[in-house]
Amino acid sequence: MAAGTSTATAVSGAGTTASSTGSNLSTITNTEFLQILIAQLQNQDPLNPTDPDQFVTELAEMTQVQSLQSMQTSLSDLATSLGTGSMSQWASAVGDYMEVNDTSISQGDEVVLSPTSTNYSQITLNLTSKSDGSSKQVTFSPGNSLVYNDTSGNYTVAGATATVNGQSVTCPTQVYRQITGVQSSSSGVNLVASDGTTYATSAILGLTK
């Protein structure tokens, strides 16, 4: 009976080890995991052996955890690569336009107007000079190109309105800044606008010619 008691105790100990390890499968290696399984087999009660399905389940859990970890790492690396690219990849974008979530524009940049209704009689783009705070209005009539190209200085886009059926409604705008250079920093690749403002590649909403 003493031997039986000793064996039962060993099985209990091995079971506890496997159980405590089950919740931390991601922290052990294949070799360590196999050593735990061997210990379970060596110390199990011959009269009440461990269910083989338990070993299969534990092996499956270990494999799933490792597969998920590997997939997560691969996807993370891919996202980083796609999100930042390399200096050589972004160098070809110099001269193109980057869509940014910003209201600043300078020479060479463009503002695209996107009225919510095509039944407008006029669209007014409001700009504020960064140098002296003066206001500037640019109007667009039906049939005009709804793209404003900044050729005179540094401005802040103060919004746009469209006149529809005699009513003034907000007209959405998108800012496209011309890419004049590419810089590398500790945080990744940055694109440079004509006024020297830099934007992380992860902040770029889109590119266009």
Average pLDDT, the chain: 79
| Total-model pTM | 0.59
175, 97 in Cβ contact below 8 A? Answer: no
Question: What is the percentage of the chain residues whose pLDDT exceeds 70?
Answer: 65
The Cα-based distances of 38 to 35, 50, 179, 180 in angstroms read: 5, 12, 62, 64
For residue 13, what pLDDT is reported?
40
For residue 10, what pLDDT is reported?
38
Tokens 């159980």 -> residue: 19
Average pLDDT over residues 127-155: 94
Residue-wise pLDDT tens digits, 161-188: 999 999 999 999 999 999 999 998 888 8
Average pLDDT over residues 136-160: 94
The Cα-based distances of 105 to 151, 157, 198 in angstroms read: 10, 7, 13
Q: Which amino acid is at 91?
A: A
Is the predicted pLDDT of residue 27 greater than 70, yes or no? no
For residue 85, what pLDDT is reported?
61
Tokens 């995991």 -> residue: 33
Average pLDDT over residues 36-65: 67
For residue 157, what pLDDT is reported?
97
Q: What pLDDT band is residue 44 in, cutting at 50, 70 and 90?
A: low
Q: Which residue has the higher pLDDT, 6 or 61?
A: 61
Is the predicted pLDDT of residue 84 greater than 70, yes or no? no
Is the predicted pLDDT of residue 80 greater than 80, yes or no? no
For residue 90, what pLDDT is reported?
87
